[in-house]
């Protein structure tokens, strides 16, 4: 079999070019509307070449989601160190990362299908590690929370961010619905205030469940 | 143009047969895996015939989602009348309706795309009406909640149900991941206890935010 000579650095560069194109396309048109062919065209490769790096479109986005989770977590940890309250520290970095929020909504529904078992396992392990790490940091920053409750707070924050993002960033059909129906538009919940309030209520209420 | 003679009752019957087939296929293989062609084959119609009743696959599922929301709400209202606590009354009927939970996860991500503006507006109006109705009932049953807080509790209950359902009901890839990685399987959150606990914490904490 013919194997193209390619040094590891070149392979790594190409891998990163694919991820960068997928990130940019998701930011422009939403994760849902990006195809493998679109990513391939944006990096100037054939689809058959892209799949040597990532088996499927979903695998590209699962790798990107893991990167965004890490980046989000680093921002949360920095804010906690600077003394921010846990609700602000957890939620504001989501508002600054729309592609992450878009990916969160797609993770369980679409991205964890159509990927290889090792890719899915890596992703799960990475996300659980991050939730555990942040959970412990949240408990240190907010001593009213008992052991394990930080993990729950971080998990719910991410879950709600994934639900609220598409509701607050409606697709063209709903934009038209809202233009025609101001009463429905008024009921469209704003992302950050809604997320903060639900999470603040949960944080305040958890101790009473012990 | 040739129009097939068809009485309104016959049309209504056919419409219901399409919805029943879509409901059954979703229960068997998950909303994500059902195609318009699959629904058409199950009712013994051509795809071109099905789209005379529902413009797209997503429109079939949006109509089904509206029916499930109503059915869920009636169950919640019955439980509240019988004296159930608001957290049990809101969450247990989700656990009994896996197809609804599956649809909730898909609504904002997939179903509200690729549908007509009137279909999306009907759906939004119906769901908002139900959340408002249940929100008021929840406030009556749990007087510690102030006006408007019932709406928030019902909305978060539905949002979290849609997030937790796919996590608790993993696709084949993740089933394999969990079989190979017992530590990851142990971290897979159970649907009803997780939903109840997050919602109970929120209900307990909301009054402290006033």
ipTM for this model: 0.93
Q: Do A117 and B180 touch (CB under 8 A)?
A: yes
Pick from A37, A61, A47: nearest CA to A113: A61
Q: Which of B121, B173, B187 is closest, CB to CB, to A177?
A: B121
What is the value of pTM for the model shown? 0.94
The minimum CA-CA distance between A166 and chain B, rounded to whole Å, is 6
Res B202 pLDDT > 90: yes
Is the predicted pLDDT of residue A1 greater than 50, yes or no?
no
Dihedrals phi, psi of B209, to nearest 5 degrees: -90, -10
Q: What is the pLDDT of residues B74-118, one digit of tens each?
A: 999 999 999 999 999 999 999 999 999 999 999 888 888 889 999
Quick: pLDDT tens for A69-85: 999 999 999 999 999 99
Looking at chain A from residue 109 to 128, which residues have their Cβ under 8 Å from any Cβ of chain B? 109-110, 112-117, 120-121, 124-125, 128
A203 has a chain B CB within 8 A of its CB: yes
Contact A108 B106 (CB under 8 A): no
Q: For the range B129-138, what are the long-range contacts, defined as Cβ-Cβ under 8 Å and sequence gap of 24 or more?
A: B130/B69, B130/B70, B130/B73, B131/B155, B131/B158, B133/B73, B133/B77, B134/B73, B134/B76, B134/B77, B134/B90, B137/B76, B137/B77, B137/B80, B138/B80, B138/B86, B138/B89, B138/B90
State the nearest Cα–Cα gap between A5 and chain B, in angstroms. 33
Convert the pLDDT of each residue in B5-18 to its tens digit: 478 889 999 999 99
- Cβ–Cβ gap B121/A181 under 8 Å: yes
> How far is it, in rounded angstroms, from Cα A209 to Cα B130?
28
Nearest to A184 among B108, B125, B173 (CB): B125
Is residue B4 pLDDT above 80, yes or no?
A: no
Nearest by Cα to B200 from A62, A207, A182, A143: A207
Q: What Cα–Cα distance (Å) separates residue B16 from each residue in A62, B10, B20, B23, B64?
A: 38, 10, 6, 10, 10
Contact B186, A181 (CB under 8 A): no
Between the alpha carbon of residue A123 and those of residues A65, A137, A139, B92, the distances in Å are: 8, 21, 24, 31
Place of tokens 């369980």: A108
pLDDT for A29-75, tens place per residue? 999 999 999 999 999 999 999 999 999 999 999 999 999 999 999 99
A22 Cα to chain B: minimum distance (Å): 18
The minimal CB distance from B197 to the residues A184, A197, A209 is found for A209
Residue B2's pLDDT is 47
The three-point CA angle A122-A128-A132 to 5° equals: 145
- CA nearest neighbour of A173 among B107, B130, B129, B48: B107
């Amino acid at each position: 079999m013919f194997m193209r000579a390619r040094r590891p650095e070149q392979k790594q560069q190409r891998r990163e070019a694919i991820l960068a194109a997928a990130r940019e396309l998701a930011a422009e048109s939403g994760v849902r509307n990006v195809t493998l062919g679109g990513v391939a065209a944006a990096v100037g490769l054939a689809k058959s070449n892209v799949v040597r790096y990532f088996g499927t479109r979903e695998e590209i986005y699962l790798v990107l989601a893991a990167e965004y989770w890490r980046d989000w977590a680093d921002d949360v940890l920095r804010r906690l160190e600077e003394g921010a309250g846990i609700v602000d520290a957890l939620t504001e970095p989501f508002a600054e990362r729309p592609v992450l929020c878009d990916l969160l909504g797609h993770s369980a529904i679409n991205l964890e299908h159509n990927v290889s078992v090792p890719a899915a396992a890596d992703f799960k392990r990475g996300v659980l590690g991050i939730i555990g790490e942040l959970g412990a940091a949240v408990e240190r920053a907010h001593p009213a929370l008992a052991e394990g409750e930080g993990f729950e707070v971080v998990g719910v924050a991410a879950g709600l961010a994934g639900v609220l993002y598409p509701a607050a960033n409606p697709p063209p059909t709903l934009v038209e619905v809202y233009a025609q129906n101001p009463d429905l538009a008024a009921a469209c919940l704003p992302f950050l205030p809604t997320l903060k309030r639900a999470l603040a209520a949960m944080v305040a209420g958890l101790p009473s469940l012990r």
